[in-house]
Structure formats: structure tokens, C-alpha cells
Amino acid sequence: MRRRTLLLALLLPLALVGCNDKQAANIPPPHRMTAEDIGHYCGMNVLEHPGPKGHIFAASLIQPVWFSSVRDAIAFTMLPDEPKDILAIYVSDMGKAPDWDKPSADNWIEARKALFVIESRVKSGMGGDEAVPFSDRAAAERFASENGGRIVGFDEVPRDYVLASANAGGAAPDEASEGAPGDGARRTP
């Protein structure tokens, strides 16, 4: 009996390492944005809007889900009717973007590893509040000092900030509403 217990104790960690390697191998790499990528909530081409974008891979979906704003991508992870089998969440790394109007088609960072500037003066491509992602803290700090706001991690982005409509008085979507995140009054940056 002791020999079997010892053998299990030695083999179990190896089996768990093998599982983690398989899960890591199943994480799809980010896709390059193209003219065919349509925003999940707005139904518009994501390239037609300024500011950071996002796309999410879920095990139950064949293609990635695209978003015209990072705030909408984060909302997707919070809304109860959206898939919960998320494999990867990619957002534009604005520290590597050439500029706000053209954030680049392939400067992605996994959202759960990013820092976000929230509550800044800069608005999303759809006119609402934005969670502006960065891979580098110094770049996030520079952006916040120039545009206001505060820096938070993915799990610290407030639910109310993400699911509330644009600050201009539109109806705030929540778990029970049919409105899409960011569907409040639109403002251009």
C-alpha cells in the first residue's frame, strides 16, 4: 500500500504538468485584424473605428469574436448570456500603437496580462468610455498623465464601468437588458 501511495505521489504531478501543457497548446494565437472583421455588438467593421480593439476565442465558437472597443470585449466576459469557455482575450497594446486613429492590426496582448487606463478623457471608437490596454506600466502611466484616468489590472476593471452606457445619458445595459455595451449616446473623440 505504501509503495502504491508513493508511486501515485510521484506520478500525479507529472500528469498535471501534461494537462497544463495540452491546455497551453490549445490557446489560439491572436489574429491580424482585417476588413472582414465585424464588431460583435455594433455590427460594423472594426477597422473603421479609432482606438483599441479586441477579439476573443471561446472553445465553443469556431471563429474569434471581434470588438470595436476593448470595453465591449471586457463586457463580453461579464455578460451571462455570452460563452464562458474563453480560451484567450486579445486587446490592442496601445503602448505599441502608431496612434489612436490607427491602433495597428497586430499589436495584441492577452487582456488578462494587460494594464488598463480607465476613466480617462479619451473615448472609444464607438464614442463611449474606454479601458485602454498596455503591456508596459510606463506607457500606461504616460497615457494616464496626459489623458487622466487610473491604472488597473483586468480583474480590477469595475463591472459598472464596463456595463454602463456612455456618459451622455443613454440607457445603461446590464445583464437583463438587450442593449449592447457601448450602445449609449455616441460621441466622437
* Tens-digit pLDDT profile for residues 23-42: 556 899 999 999 999 999 99
Residue that is written with C-alpha cell 500500500 in the block: 1
Q: pLDDT tens digit string along 86-139? A: 999 999 999 999 999 989 999 999 999 999 999 999 999 888 999 999 999 999
Euclidean distance between CA atoms 179 and 185, whole angstroms: 12
Q: pLDDT tens digit string along 77-88? A: 999 999 999 999
Euclidean distance between CA atoms 52 and 118, whole angstroms: 13
Q: pLDDT tens digit string along 172-182? A: 344 433 344 55
Euclidean distance between CA atoms 146 and 171, whole angstroms: 30
What per-residue confidence (pLDDT) applies to 156? Answer: 98
What is the DSSP secondary structure assignment for residue 179, as one 8-state letter? P
Please state the three-class secondary structure of 89-111 as a single string.
EEEECCCCCCCCCCCCCCCEEEH
Give yes or no for a contact between 95 and 135, defined as CB atoms under 8 angstroms apart: yes
Euclidean distance between CA atoms 91 and 13, whole angstroms: 33
Q: How many CB atoms lie within 10 A of CB 13?
A: 9
Euclidean distance between CA atoms 162 and 87, whole angstroms: 21
What φ, ψ does residue 115 adopt, rounded to 5°?
-105, 145
Q: How far is CA 153 from the centre of its chain?
A: 11
What per-residue confidence (pLDDT) applies to 9? Answer: 46
